[in-house]
Amino acid sequence: MAMIEMKDVSKWYGPVQVLKDCSAAVNKGEVVVVCGPSGSGKSTLIKTVNGLEPFQRGDVLVNGISVGDPKTNLTRLRAQIGMVFQHFELFPHMSVVDNISLGQVRVLGRSRDEATARSMKLLERVGLTQHAAKYPGQLSGGQQQRVAIARALAMDPLAMLFDEPTSALDPEMINEVLDVMTELAREGMTMMVVTHEMGFASRVAHRVIFMDQGQIVEDDKKEDFFRTPRSERAQQFLSKILHH
Amino acid sequence: MKYNWNWGIFWQLSPDGRGTYLDTLIAGLGWTLATALSAWVIALILGIIVGVVRTTPVRWLRLLGDAWVEVFRNVPLLVQMFLWFFVFPELLPASVGVWLKQLPRSAFYTAVLCLGLYTSARVAEQTRAGIQSLARGQRMAGIALGLTLPQTYRFVLLPMALRIVMPPLTSEFLNVIKNSAVALTIGLVELTASARSIQEFSFQVFEAFTAATLIYMFLNLIVVAGMRWLEKRVAIPGLIGPGQAMPQAGH
Ligand SMILES: Nc1ncnc2c1ncn2[C@@H]1O[C@H](COP(=O)(O)OP(=O)(O)OP(=O)(O)O)[C@@H](O)[C@H]1O
Ligand SMILES: [Mg+2]
């Protein structure tokens, strides 16, 4: 069953078309990596999944619910999709545990105690229990991103979206974040990950989507993508990134 | 120039029959404080609302907010004061206008309203700048979490934005106190007007205005100290700011 289904999604900024008839599906429990050159529309594409980026044509279905339908309660839909950003976007004025509890209390209506208990469990899972009372500004980048993942998981999401979760990190912190994501994938989370970490893609992903100039140029099984990408642009991209 | 200094003047009875000149001064201070503080409350509430409105995705709300700021910020305060006091009651149905003009303390109410609206435009401008200085990602993170737009403002954007604009808001607070002197033009005997009345009755112009100046400076100090205290109280651990500790990467 497709957890996320994109059907001919097109988006324009004024006269410029930034998404061109993008179609793809992510099944339940599947991990799909999205890669491509800068400006190719990767961020825009995954943000259409939770309606952060509106689109003009086509549709996206999440668990069967249409994102494009004006009657859809987008707020409720978003609560069911976790999102992790390149720059973490933790709320700097809240302690780590409050960051993770905010959505649980305000959106899911959990009691404060219930939320805190859940937050502490998640902090344990990402290895940050002893940092619960700290503020985001007191944590390293890698630690902040792990808190951001915990914050998204606290909503018990149907699927998780990652937009370049490691590209703002110092190299020595990348693995601690990728490890948490790998673990999550192993547990069967449905994930859409924009990343240039090809090591992660080859280890964890089921499929790889390659985008260029707003188009999905390639949508392959991981093995096929790394062995024999069909398009020339994907080959160029891969050789550039792998020899980097 | 021959001038008879007489600092004892403040203990002499004033001809207004309400006590000494010092009492006149204190009564003036009371009106200054009442006007400035009431106007400040109005300015903060309206200013934050208008500032928020100017950053929402709703176009007509944004335009309304922009218009608010342009009108109240760009017309001189003195003109606004006259408009509210002399012109506005004439625009109302006659009976309401008369009732307004005969209201006891109508100068005070007019001054509070006028100063509150005028300052709200300036607070709105600061609030807007504060919200827009936050990364666009903060808004997205709140929305992505499933918060509604009002919740995103309430729990994510405003707490940070208001902390950021605390220093400029401090100067707006100081401005409200200073600007309240304009109310003397519509007959409110606040601090400056009191000093002037002392001068008119006693001719001790230097003493009267020295005293008023010292009181204004003292109010200034209290406000600055109070805001410093508040800034420290709401400071966020790990963020650099005035009087805050350097961030430390935890390990
Ligand atoms: N607000 C906007 N207004 C106009 N054009 C935009 C806007 N946001 C993005 N774009 C354009 O849309 C295209 C796709 O942008 P997007 O951020 O999705 O690319 P990306 O693949 O994520 O790139 P990167 O690797 O740099 O993050 C780019 O050409 C970009 O210039
Ligand atoms: Mg991007």
Residue pLDDT, tens place only, A128-145 = 999 999 999 999 999 999
Q: SS3 for A84?
A: strand
Residue B57 resides in a domain: yes
Q: Is the residue at B241 inside a domain?
A: no
Nearest CA to ligand 1 atom 26: A38
Name the pTM for this structure. 0.90
* Cβ(A241)–Cβ(A196) below 8 Å: yes
Q: What pLDDT digit, counting tens, does each position of B164-181 carry?
A: 999 999 999 999 999 999
| Domain presence at residue B128 | yes
Task: Report the alpha-carbon distance of residue A191 to residue B132 in Å, rounded.
Answer: 31
* Tokens, residue B110: 């007019």
Segment A92-112, tens digit of pLDDT: 999 999 999 999 999 999 999
Judge whether B73 lies within some domain. yes
What's the pLDDT score for residue A124? 96
Query: Among residues B217, B193, B191, B195, which one has the least CA distance to residue B204?
Result: B195
**B contacts of A159 (beta carbons < 8 Å):** none
**Strands (DSSP E) along B81-237, which ranges?**
none
Atom of ligand 1 nearest to the CA of A86: 27
- Nearest atom within ligand 1 for CA of residue A47: 18
Closest-approach residue (CA) in chain B for A150: B145
For B33, the domain range is 17-234
A204-234 tens-digit pLDDT: 999 999 999 999 999 999 888 888 877 888 8
Buried-state track A154-193, b at ≥16 Cβ within 10 A, e below 16? bbebbbbbbbbbbeebeeebbbbbbebbeebbeeebbbbb
Query: Does B239 map to a domain?
Result: no
Residue contact A93–B146, C-beta within 8 A: no
Interface test with B, best of A106, A131, A143, A151 (most B CBs within 10 A): A106
- Helix (H/G/I), strand (E/B), else coil: A34: strand
As for how many domains chain B has, the answer is 1
Kindly list the residues of chain A whose beta carbon comes within 8 Å of any beta carbon in chain B. Answer: 50, 52, 75-76, 78-81, 83, 85, 87, 89-93, 102-103, 106-107, 131, 134-140, 143, 151-152, 155
Best mutation target among B145, B148, B155, B156 (most A Cβ atoms within 10 Å) is B145
Residue B4 lies in a domain: no
Query: Residue B9 domain-assigned?
Result: no
* B140 close to B57: Cβ distance less than 8 angstroms: no
CATH code of the domain in which B53 resides: 1.10.3720.10
CB contact under 8 A, B140 and A89: yes
**Residues at CB less than 6 angstroms from ligand 1:** A 13, 18, 36, 38-44
CA distance A42 to B89: 60
Q: Give dist(CA B78, CA B186) in Å, integer.
A: 10
With a CB cutoff of 8 Å and minimum separation 6, the contacts of B245 are: B237, B238
Burial category of B95 from C-beta neighbours within 10 Å (exposed 0-12, middle 13-18, buried 19 and up): exposed
Give the closest residue to A75 by CA, choosing from A109, A43, A107, A111. Answer: A107
Mean of per-residue pLDDT scores for chain A = 94
Residue B5 inside a domain? The answer is no
pLDDT band, very low/low/confident/very high, at B241 (cuts 50, 70, 90): low
